[in-house]
């Protein structure tokens, strides 16, 4: 009898990872006849001033030295192509003939499979913005029109874009354009930083998604650039069951900068083909996709498949505005661009934040687990998930 394949799975830890494995990955693995071992993300959870994000180098080094035994890993979008920019070779397995039914073509990539989509949205407290005003990014730093503090993430990807959009610039042309030289891109980075610096006294920085939500809920800021899932959970806390027009935290779907986390398959484990089979099953098996919808609602993201839908209108409206299902989305954050340029842009960002007094050697600390959801809230969210 042949030995059963055991796949080691790693995501972002805590309830997020537990729900991912329980509702989506495990049902697909059972269909494929694979066993799973869930690992804590020891490459994640440690934030460093050098990279202002997860320390992905641990993963790259383990693959390079042959010490890696993780078969399937969920990563941030810029991480898919960042290893190449850092000089690492053949970090993630490539499957150009992979079949993912129902997934938008622009999210399909030989080296990665989309895991969860969300977006940066301009959100604001209903009672602190003049009635009838629907802010856009060009209003973000217009304090005459809308007085008050702004919430901004202390991280270059998408914050650079926000600053450029606030100046009315076309990000696709002046920033993502592959024909631009590094000097031309750097000019845009420094212009964006100047825009942020000019409005520094009006900015409340956030590092984790929960802090961005609390800034709005507790009234520390009038408006914020935050993930749409945080707009949803803020409204669940402030006005459960409210109609869209009565939500306390309002948002403008036309400001969406959509992003995507990905699954990657590290090379060298000997299980690359099996991991790819698992990913195809996760997107092509109906039972697995039903679980994907539950995970989506529990963790407030969108699994980018035509077969994953939400029967609850509130969840549908709040979650899909940060995804490919939002026809009015402004911009898709360019994964390849950030993979190629993240390192040197992050260095410029770090230097500026240190000089501005906003970043110190202990600015980023080990992540603490978010508070677990109350069981009744989990039950409510599970009921909102449906894969029709």
Contact predicate 151/221, CB 8 Å: yes
Residue 190 resides in a domain: yes
Q: Are residues 98 and 163 in the same domain?
A: no
Contact predicate 25/36, CB 8 Å: yes
Domain that holds residue 329: 6-117+259-334+366-386
Q: What is the pTM of this model?
A: 0.86
Of 207, 240, 258, the one marking the end of a domain is 258
Residue with tokens 């993201």: 301
- Give, in order, the Cα–Cα distances in Å from 240 to each of 2, 236, 296, 298, 323: 52, 5, 19, 16, 23
C-alpha torsion sign, points 138, 120, 103, 304 = negative
Q: Are residues 253 and 168 in the same domain?
A: yes
Kindly give the confidence (pLDDT) of every residue in the chain, 388 residues in length, as a single tens digit, with 9 standing for 90 and above: 457 899 999 998 888 899 999 999 999 999 999 999 998 776 544 344 343 345 677 788 889 889 899 999 999 888 899 888 888 989 999 999 999 989 999 999 999 999 999 999 999 999 999 988 999 999 999 999 999 999 999 999 999 999 999 999 999 999 999 999 999 999 999 999 999 999 999 999 998 888 899 999 999 999 999 999 999 989 988 998 888 889 999 999 999 999 999 999 999 999 999 999 999 999 999 999 999 999 988 888 999 998 888 878 888 889 999 999 999 999 999 989 999 999 899 999 999 998 887 654 334 333 344 555 565 666 656 555 544 4
Residue 30 resides in a domain: yes
Of 234, 258, 282, the one marking the end of a domain is 258
> How many domains are contained in the chain?
2
Cα 280 from Cα 207, distance rounded (Å) = 34
Q: Are residues 317 and 211 in the same domain?
A: no
Cα 296 from Cα 304, distance rounded (Å) = 10
Residue 355 resides in a domain: no
């Amino acid at each position: 009898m042949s030995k059963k394949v055991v796949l080691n799975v790693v995501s972002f830890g805590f309830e997020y990872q537990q729900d991912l494995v329980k509702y989506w990955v495990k049902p697909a693995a059972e269909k494929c006849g694979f066993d799973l071992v869930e690992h804590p993300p020891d490459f994640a959870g440690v934030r460093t001033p050098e990279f202002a994000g997860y320390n992905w180098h641990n993963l790259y080094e383990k693959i390079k030295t042959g010490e890696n035994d993780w078969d399937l890993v969920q990563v941030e979008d810029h991480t898919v192509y960042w290893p190449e920019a850092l000089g690492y070779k053949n970090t993630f397995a490539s499957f150009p003939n992979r079949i993912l039914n129902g997934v938008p073509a622009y999210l399909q990539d030989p080296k990665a499979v989309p895991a969860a989509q969300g977006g940066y949205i301009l959100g604001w407290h209903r009672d602190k913005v003049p009635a009838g005003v629907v802010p856009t990014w060009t209003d973000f730093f217009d304090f005459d029109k809308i007085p008050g503090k702004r919430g901004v993430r202390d991280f270059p990807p998408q914050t650079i874009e926000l600053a450029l959009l606030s100046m009315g610039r076309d990000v696709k042309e002046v920033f993502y354009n592959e024909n631009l030289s590094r000097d031309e891109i750097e000019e845009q980075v420094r212009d964006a930083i100047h825009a942020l610096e000019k409005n520094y006294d009006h900015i409340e920085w956030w590092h984790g998604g929960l802090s961005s939500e609390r800034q709005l809920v507790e009234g520390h800021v009038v408006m914020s650039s935050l993930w749409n899932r945080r707009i949803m959970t803020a409204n669940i806390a402030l006005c459960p069951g409210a109609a869209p027009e009565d939500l306390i935290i309002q948002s403008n779907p036309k400001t969406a900068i959509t992003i995507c986390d990905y699954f990657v398959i590290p090379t060298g484990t000997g299980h690359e083909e099996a991991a790819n089979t698992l990913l195809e099953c996760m997107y092509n098996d109906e039972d697995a996709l039903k679980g994907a919808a539950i995970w989506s609602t529990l963790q407030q993201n969108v699994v980018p498949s035509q077969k994953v839908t939400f029967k609850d209108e509130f969840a549908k409206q709040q979650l899909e505005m940060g995804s490919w299902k939002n026809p009015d989305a402004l911009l898709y954050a360019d994964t390849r661009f950030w993979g190629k340029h993240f390192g040197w842009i992050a260095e410029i960002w770090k230097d500026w934040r240190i000089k501005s007094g906003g970043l110190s050697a202990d600015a980023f600390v080990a992540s603490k687990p978010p508070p677990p959801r109350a069981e009744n809230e989990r039950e409510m969210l599970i009921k909102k998930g449906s894969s029709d």
